Amino acid sequence: MKPRTATLLCAALLAAAPVHAEHASPAELANNTAAPLVAGREYMVLANHPNNLSVIDLADNTVLKTCALPDAYGPGLLQISPDHRQAWLLNNRFGSIYGVELDSCNVIFSANMSLAADERTKSVLSLAISPDGKEIYTVQNPSRIYVDRYEVQQPRLAVYDTASGLDAKPVRTFPMPRQLSVMQTGADGTLYVAGPDVYKVDVKTGKYEVAMPILNWNRPGYGAPDVLNAWPVQTITREFAFLYTAPKFKDDKQDIASADFVWGIMSIDLRTGAVSVADFAPLTEVYFTGIRSPKNPNHLFTVLNVLRKYDIKEQKLLASADVGHAYYQASVNHDGSRVYLSGTLHDIAVFDAETLEKITTIPLPGGDQATNTAQVFIR
């Protein structure tokens, strides 16, 4: 199972060779950076090469504005503040976090993940914001750089005050286990961090416990699942969701060779902390992301090389659409009428959520999106 998935994922990632469209000139970017967002309107925000942040008006599927971001691109992972006024980004080759005012494009916050001169620190896709918007969280993976060697250090949860401005330092740090990545906050302020399992973390004390097992799920009749989650989507359904693939054994012998491999979705309800796990399809192709419809959360949209719509309970494929090129992330709008595909290359594809008919393609200023994270919100 693992090698099979790995091969497919590698192939797909490599297929996304950066192709740069004509970049918007700095003058063009400057013209629209001051365009304010309008209360009540629905937007999508995402980042792409060379280092842009674009706001898309979902009412007419046009790019409202494009901000130029500081330093280097990558991964363009983005979270929207609870008041929908700021975008928070992990960028600069996984090395810095930025806060950007969407109305003005002004950078209001920056923090280098390395906290000392003899440290090299990366945050691997790890960024969340508190429900009150006052704190951001990231898990940092430091290495100490000695004059003639490196020494891997224990990861740490770093808590930043969003009002700290530029060159911010964490207000609290706590030791954490390894291999942590995407995270989201619950309504009560609990921080959920994905790693080998999903942990719930008390951001005041740093204490953590397993909220939802992944590798250690010990699900009867199943082998350990594999989860690739590089897209911490702030879902309209308020869930922290993970697509998994897992071997489903034929019998108690747990023979991997005869097992069926399945796709499923496991998630934590961020309002209640409740956990749900459900298979939805046999594993016949690779998806990078899946997102539930806010209109009918039993309906799931998945994407990589094809867009699919599933009925989770019935484990039934409802509709499919060719996508023209690979996309990594599926998003939905608030009324559940549209599906937006982003990630890789430099466009967003828009589909009718009911029929999966293609509505339009929104070209993005700039180049490849790589593994960015798009977020949809109403200002």
Partner 1 sequence: MNNKPIACATLTALALVASAPGDAAERQINVPNLIMERCSICHADDLGRLVRISAQRKTPEGWLMTVVRMQQQHDLGLSDDERRALVKYLADTQGLAPAETEGARYVLERRLNTVENFSSEQFTQMCARCHSGARVALQRRTATEWERLVNFHLSQFPTLEYQALGRDRDWFGIATNEIVPYLAKNFAYGDEQWQKWKQTPRAPVAGEWSLSGHLPGRGDFNAVMSVSQRANDHYALELRGNYADGGALIGQGAAVVYTGYEWRGKVEINGVEMRQVFALKGDILEGRMFVADHDEVGADVLAARQDGGASRVLAVQPSYLKTGTATELSIIGSNFDGELVLPAGIKVEKLLSRTPGRIVIRALADKRALGTHQVKVGAAEGGELAVFDKLDRIEVVPPYAIARVGGNGGPAPKVDARFEALAWAKGPRGEYRVGYVPAKWSVAPFNEDAKRDRDVEFAGSIDAKTGVFTPSFAGPNPLRHLMTNNAGNLAVIAEISAGGKPLTAQGQLIVTVQRWNNPPIP
Q: Of 82, 196, 213, 273, which lies in the binding site for partner 1, with binding defined by CB under 8 A?
A: 196
CB of 196 to partner 1, least distance (A): 7
194: Cβ–Cβ under 8 A, 6 or more apart, which residues?
Answer: 180, 181, 182, 183, 214, 227, 229, 240, 242
Binder to partner 1 among 72, 116, 152, 274 (CB under 8 A)?
Answer: 152
- For residue 83, the minimal CB distance to partner 1 (Å) is 32
The backbone torsions φ and ψ at residue 27, rounded to the nearest 5 degrees and listed phi first, read -65, -45
The least CB distance from residue 162 to partner 1, in Å, is 25
* Number of residues near partner 1 (by CB under 8 A): 38
* Residue number, 102 or 128, with CB nearest to partner 1: 128
**C-alpha distance across the termini of the chain, in Å:** 43
Residues 68-97: x where in contact with partner 1 by CB under 8 A, - otherwise, as a string = --------------------------x---
Site for partner 1 (CB under 8 A): which residue of 36, 175, 221, 324?
324
- CA-based Rg of the chain, rounded to a whole angstrom? 20
Q: Does 253 bind partner 1 (CB under 8 A)?
A: no
Q: Which of 84, 122, 172, 358 touches partner 1 (CB under 8 A)? A: 122
274 is a site residue for partner 1 (CB under 8 A)? no
Helix, coil or strand: residue 303: strand
Site for partner 1 in 210-249 (CB under 8 A): 215, 224, 226-228
Binding residue (CB under 8 A) for partner 1 from 38, 72, 116, 150? 150
Amino acid (1-letter code) at residue 224: A
Among candidates 88, 70, 154, which has minimal Cα distance to 119? Answer: 154
Amino acid in the structure at residue 220: P
How far, in Å, CA of 124 to CA of 107, rounded?
22
What is the rounded distance in angstroms from the CA atom of residue 203 to the CA atom of residue 190? Answer: 7
Q: Which residues contact 193 (CB under 8 A, 6 or more apart)?
A: 126, 139, 157, 176, 180, 181, 182, 183, 199, 201, 208
Least Å distance between CB 325 and partner 1? 4
Q: Which residues contact 151 (CB under 8 A, 6 or more apart)?
A: 143, 144
Query: Given the complex with partner 1, which of 86 and 141 has the nearer CB atom?
Result: 141
Q: Does 124 bind partner 1 (CB under 8 A)?
A: yes
- Any contact of residue 131 with partner 1 (CB under 8 A)? no
3-state DSSP assignment of residue 205: coil
If phi > 0 it is left, if psi is from -120 to 50 it is alpha, else beta; for residue 167 that is left
- Least separation in angstroms between CB 330 and partner 1: 16
Would you tell me which residues interact with partner 1 (CB under 8 A)?
A: 2-3, 5-6, 9-11, 14-15, 17, 19, 94, 120, 122, 124, 141, 143, 145, 147-152, 178-179, 181, 196, 215, 224, 226-228, 305, 323-326
